[in-house]
């Protein structure tokens, strides 16, 4: 696990909790947020890092395999203005992809809205929860990154940093420290919409005209990728109609 002395080098994250084993870092963070809101306390700018999760979840309540020593499992507690909320999922994807690109020279790309792929294989995922009070959004940013490969039926199309990076590194401790520092540095800046959208588009795995199928609850929409709009919604062209999708799972045909 990482040394909490790293806090002396951080400027946005005020506290860091390192837990050997936990059900889910998002569950712990949710309790903190609820306690702060219920008691009218300021939300700490903090990160919870676990060595292992035994009940980790991804988007749409999917199980996220989180064995000890194999990945980075972390939830960041962070506040932003409500006006910035539409671009938060995109910016988190930008931050995670840039971490992999800058630290490990991995050609990480983003599948809308914020799955991180190398080739067509998933290396990292993001689960964001938010509670809004007045003009502030209380964010729980759950992130899982595959550092070492895992032989697991729940990850049929996964890839890990050690498989994708041309660089040598010392192990999961160094990868986690670099992750904390990268998150801290990027969260220090405003989420300027034009910059966020431009970076996301440059890192996107999608190309105009790609055949896309989108699962929206109990219905499925198919069309051709037409980019994202200024609110980060996926635009699918189906005949003369353009469908703006704000939630769902995209499958690349």
Query: Could you tell me if 127 and 234 lie in one domain?
Result: no
- Could you say which DSSP state residue 70 is in? S
- Could you say which DSSP state residue 152 is in? -
Q: What pLDDT, on a 0 to 100 scale, did the predictor assign at position 188?
A: 96
State how far the Cα of 138 lies from the Cα of 131, in Å rounded to an integer: 5
Query: Could you tell me if 19 and 44 lie in one domain?
Result: yes
Confidence of residue 54 (pLDDT cuts 50, 70, 90): confident
Query: Could you tell me if 165 and 57 lie in one domain?
Result: yes
Query: Could you tell me if 109 and 218 lie in one domain?
Result: no
Confidence of residue 11 (pLDDT cuts 50, 70, 90): very high
Strands of 46-50's sheet, edge to edge?
15-19, 46-50, 71-81, 136-146, 121-133, 115-118, 109-111
The percent of residues above 90 in pLDDT, for the chain, comes to 55
Q: Does the pLDDT at position 68 exceed 90?
A: no
The pLDDT of 104-115, averaged and rounded, is 92
Query: Could you tell me if 171 and 216 lie in one domain?
Result: no
The pLDDT of 61-88, averaged and rounded, is 84
β-strand pairing of 241-245 with 234-238: antiparallel
Confidence of residue 253 (pLDDT cuts 50, 70, 90): very low
Long-range contacts of 163-167 (CB under 8 A, 24+ apart): 164/100, 164/104, 164/106, 164/118, 164/123, 165/104, 165/105, 165/106, 166/105, 167/104, 167/105
Instruction: Render pLDDT for 129-179 as a digit per residue (tens, 0 to 9).
Output: 888 888 889 999 999 999 998 876 666 789 999 999 998 877 899 999 999
- Which whole-number Å values give the CA distances from 6 to 2, 18, 76, 100, 179, in the listed order? 8, 12, 15, 20, 11
Encoding tokens for residue 183?
């998150």
State how far the Cα of 145 lies from the Cα of 190, in Å rounded to an integer: 24
Q: What pLDDT, on a 0 to 100 scale, did the predictor assign at position 247?
A: 63
State how far the Cα of 5 lies from the Cα of 181, in Å rounded to an integer: 12
Distant-in-sequence, close-in-space partners of 96: CB < 8 Å, separation ≥ 6: 108, 114, 116, 124, 126, 143, 145
Query: Could you tell me if 125 and 186 lie in one domain?
Result: yes
State how far the Cα of 187 lies from the Cα of 92, in Å rounded to an integer: 9
State how far the Cα of 160 lies from the Cα of 147, in Å rounded to an integer: 5
Angle between helices 88-104 and 193-203 (to 10 degrees): 50
Query: Could you tell me if 190 and 234 lie in one domain?
Result: no
Of residues 119, 25, 231, the one with CA closest to residue 109 = 119
Query: Could you tell me if 55 and 100 lie in one domain?
Result: yes
Query: Could you tell me if 49 and 135 lie in one domain?
Result: yes
Query: Could you tell me if 154 and 43 lie in one domain?
Result: yes
Of residues 124, 127, 113, the one with CA closest to residue 57 = 127
Query: Could you tell me if 35 and 132 lie in one domain?
Result: yes
State how far the Cα of 61 lies from the Cα of 241, in Å rounded to an integer: 31
Beta strands, E only, the chain: 15-19, 46-50, 71-81, 109-111, 115-118, 121-133, 136-146, 211-216, 219-228, 234-238, 241-245, 249-252
Model's pTM, two decimal places?
0.90
Q: What pLDDT, on a 0 to 100 scale, did the predictor assign at position 107?
A: 97
Instruction: Render pLDDT for 195-218 as a digit per residue (tens, 0 to 9).
Output: 999 999 999 999 999 998 887 777
Q: What pLDDT, on a 0 to 100 scale, did the predictor assign at position 179?
A: 97
Q: Please tell me the total count of domains within the chain.
A: 2
Q: CB-based burial of residue 70 (10 Å sphere; 0-12 exposed, 13-18 middle, 19+ buried)?
A: buried
Domain that holds residue 112: 4-203
Instruction: Render pLDDT for 18-41 as a digit per residue (tens, 0 to 9).
Output: 999 988 888 899 999 888 888 888
Q: What pLDDT, on a 0 to 100 scale, did the predictor assign at position 40?
A: 83
Share the mean pLDDT of the chain. 88
Confidence of residue 1 (pLDDT cuts 50, 70, 90): low
Q: What pLDDT, on a 0 to 100 scale, did the predictor assign at position 58?
A: 52
């Amino acid at each position: 696990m990482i040394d909490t002395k790293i806090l002396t080098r951080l400027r946005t994250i005020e506290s860091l909790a390192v837990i050997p084993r936990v059900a889910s870092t998002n569950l712990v963070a949710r309790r903190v947020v609820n306690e702060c809101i219920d008691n009218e306390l300021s939300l700490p700018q903090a990160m919870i890092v676990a060595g292992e999760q035994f009940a980790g979840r991804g988007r749409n309540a999917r199980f996220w395999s989180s064995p000890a020593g194999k990945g980075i499992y972390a939830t960041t507690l962070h506040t932003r203005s409500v006006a910035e909320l539409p671009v938060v999922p995109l910016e988190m994807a930008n931050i995670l992809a840039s971490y992999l690109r800058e630290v490990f020279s991995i050609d990480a790309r983003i599948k809308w809205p914020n799955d991180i792929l190398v080739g067509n294989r998933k290396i990292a995922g993001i689960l964001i929860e938010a509670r809004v009070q007045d003009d502030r959004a209380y964010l729980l940013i759950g992130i899982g990154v595959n550092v070492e490969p895992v032989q697991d039926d729940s990850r049929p199309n996964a890839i890990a940093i050690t498989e994708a990076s041309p660089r040598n590194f010392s192990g999961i401790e160094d990868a986690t420290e670099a992750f904390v520092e990268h998150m801290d540095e990027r969260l220090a800046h405003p989420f300027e919409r034009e910059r966020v959208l431009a970076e996301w588009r440059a890192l996107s795995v999608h190309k105009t005209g790609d055949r896309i199928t989108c699962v929206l609850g109990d219905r499925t929409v198919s069309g051709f990728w037409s980019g994202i709009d200024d609110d980060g919604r996926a635009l699918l062209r189906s005949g003369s109609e353009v469908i703006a999708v704000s939630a769902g799972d995209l499958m690349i045909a």
